[in-house]
Structure 1
Amino acid sequence: MKDLDPAGLDCLAALADDGHFERAARRLSITQSAVSQRLRTLEAQVGQLLVVRSRPLRLTDAGKVLLRFARQLQAMRADVALELGTGSGPDSGQRLPIAVNADSLATWVLPALDPVVQAGASLELVVDDQNFTHDWLRQGAVLGCVSTVSEALRGCRVVPLGSMRYTAVASPAFIAQRLPKGLDRGNFSQVPFLVFNRKDDMQTQWVSRAFGVRSPRLQESFVPSSEAYVRAALMGWGVGVVPLVQVSGLMARGDLVALRPEVELNVKLYWHQWRLGPDGAPPSEGVALLDRIGDALAAGARVALGTARAQRAG
């Protein structure tokens, strides 16, 4: 296969991000017809359809393969820009997409990434449930992800980050009104539980562990924001299953109270990233930007999650 057209790969990535030819053209500062032409040229190079022209657009399996390559090319460009001192900020058009779970984003991820961003990197944070961020990596939509999956994809490496500890909490007023005798096997189904979204099963996991009930049915109230979720618990909307790192201060002040504090869920997290260089190759003079991001996340996790050691593997 001939060398792939970098301009066509940029168009493919923009179409994957924006789902529309017009928005992709605006992102790339070219005409819509130029996007179409570059995509057709790339499709001709590989001899396969890469994009299904639907609303929204979707990538074919071949398109997803090339998208992974396009993302890696973007990451290497961003790293070169930083090495040359030209940066990879908003004006460069080089944003590195990574997927993180909402609870990590609300607690330790931003402080961990701050040194990388302050050094000039431009990131695009994609938020999904920790059990689903890995799908974004597999599809080539992101270059790295924080996930509960421990096994590395082919061509990727994985770093253990540590565990987020979850416990069930409620406000003192809610407990006094709804649970004066505590939460138990006989009353859990009569009280509302806060749920992040329909992918979130932390509440059912916690109830199953606390009371030995398989597939418990709960009264659910959906609050799809980590910060708003904690706020809803403070306001007495229901029982929340939350990361201790997020609410330890509120619990210390008595604003939230743990229900069955001996029952915790430990969610192990891992950082996955594409390998951008050939296996066995010596490291370059500078640390690759994607490696810097991974190192920053591992260091931040050690502090926030109490990880004793985070070793690179995979």
Structure 2
Amino acid sequence: MFDYKLLSALAAVVEQAGFERAALALGLSQSAVSQRIKLLEARVGQPVLVRATPPQPTDLGRRLLNHVQQVRLLERDLRGQVPALDEGDQPERLRIAINADSLATWWAQAVAGFCTERQVLLDLVVEDQAVGLKRMRAGEVAACVCAVERPVAGARSIALGAMRYRALASPGFIARHFPAGVTPEALARSPAIVFGPDDYLQHRYLESQGIEGTFSHHLCPSSEGFVQLTSRGLGWGLVPELQVVDELASGELVELLPGRSLDVPLYWHHWRNGGELLAELTGQLVATAAKLLVP
């Protein structure tokens, strides 16, 4: 039989990125959390954590974390069906990995009503859309929004639509760097803005113009900051169309090559045995995304 106090300690250490914060979350001493992890490892006969900074689950640890995620959701369903089991717990906290651009655009509209009605608290882990699925694979989240279609074992993947990105810059930036028009050569010489080391949208856009290799760029790991830097003329970048409707209408931002957008597909991944809560959230996301994203 599983000892869920031990599994909860494992989940807390991974989710809180350390033993000290896990102890605070569980209301235990750091020593007590460490002892629970050691006892769990003694019972399963192998390590469940790599003692790094932050601690990382082993292959077995990931399988146990995936199990914990699903049990939590199924327990919520059971408490709703059997009122005697409801001990007045805090609202359910749903841990989800999501890309920053979705968070800055359509996500809030999609989940606000659902979270209010179902009394759900969100614990959002921001990851680039190209790598968000690694959080599910590690057992850290119950669901994720990412650009990868193939789900991990035990999960389902549903297409939500696509985010349309446009290559934009301020009028002043265009006047300085493209006085003779936006050519591949001039584009290769002008500074770009890149979200982070896992963001390859600008690379893909340049490759579509026949430009390969390295290029000068700013790193800005913030969707809102990305738009601000672009608007202030620090560089050009691929920006979600949904995020800059007003800036495009006012002329604050201008498309470098009109009509040459880049669409990034988004998929919603969730555990198959995630219970009613994840099933309802999935339906809500699919319905809202159909209205806001590119088919």
Give the structure-2-normalised TM-score. 0.91
Q: For 2:252, give the aligned amino acid.
A: D
3-state DSSP class of the match of 1:263? coil
- Partner Cα distance (1:217, 1:51) in 2: 37
Contact 2:177 2:186 in 1 (8 A): no
Which amino acid counterpart does residue 49 of structure 1 have in structure 2?
P
Contact 1:163 1:267 in 2 (8 A): yes
Gaps spanning 5+ residues in structure 2: where?
Answer: none
Aligned to 1:284: none
Cα gap change, 1:62/1:98 in structure 2, threshold over 3 Å: closer, same or farther? Answer: same
Q: Give 2:4's aligned amino acid.
A: P
Corresponding residue of 1:296: 284
User: C-alpha root-mean-square deviation of aligned residues, in Å?
Assistant: 2.1
Q: After superposition, what is the alpha-carbon deviation per residue over 1:246-269, rounded to whole angstroms, capped at 9, x for unaligned?
A: 112211121111111121111111
Distance 2:210 2:70 in 1: 46
Match of 2:214 in 1: 217
Q: Secondary structure at the match of 2:214?
A: coil
Superposition deviation, residue 198 in structure 1: 1.3
1:264 equivalenced with 2:261 (yes/no): yes
Does the 8 A contact of 2:70 with 2:142 survive in 1?
yes
Take 1:204 and 1:125, find their aligned partners in 2: how far apart are those partners? 27
The one-letter code matched in structure 2 to 1:297 is L
Alignment of 1:35-114 (within 5 A): 35-80=33-78, 92=90, 94-114=92-112
Q: What percent identity do the matched residue pairs reach?
A: 40
Q: Distance in 1 between matches of 2:2 and 2:115?
A: 30
Q: What is the CA deviation profile of residues 74-126 of structure 1, one whole-angstrom value per residue up to 9, with x for unaligned ones?
A: 2223444566789x9xx727422111111111101111111122121011111
* SS of alignment partner, residue 184 of structure 2: coil
Partner of 1:167: 166
- State yes or no: 1:244 paired with 2:241: yes
Alignment-derived partner of residue 198 in structure 1: 197
Amino acid across the alignment from 1:274: W
1:151 maps to 150
Distance 1:217 1:38, change over 3 A: closer
TM score, norm. by length of structure 1: 0.86
Paired residue type of 2:73: A
Given candidates 250, 254, 258, the residue that maps to 1:253 is 250
Write out per-residue CA displacement over residues 22-55 of structure 1, whole angstroms, 9 at most, x where no aligned residue.
Answer: 2211101122333233323322332222123344
Between the aligned partners of 1:165 and 1:7, the Cα distance in structure 2 is: 45
Cα gap change, 1:37/1:186 in structure 2, threshold over 3 Å: closer, same or farther?
A: closer
The 1-side partners of 2:19 and 2:284 are apart by 35
Aligned length: 291
Q: Which amino acid is the alignment partner of residue 167 of structure 2?
A: A
Give yes or no for contact 1:207–1:216 (8 Å, CA) kept in 2.
no
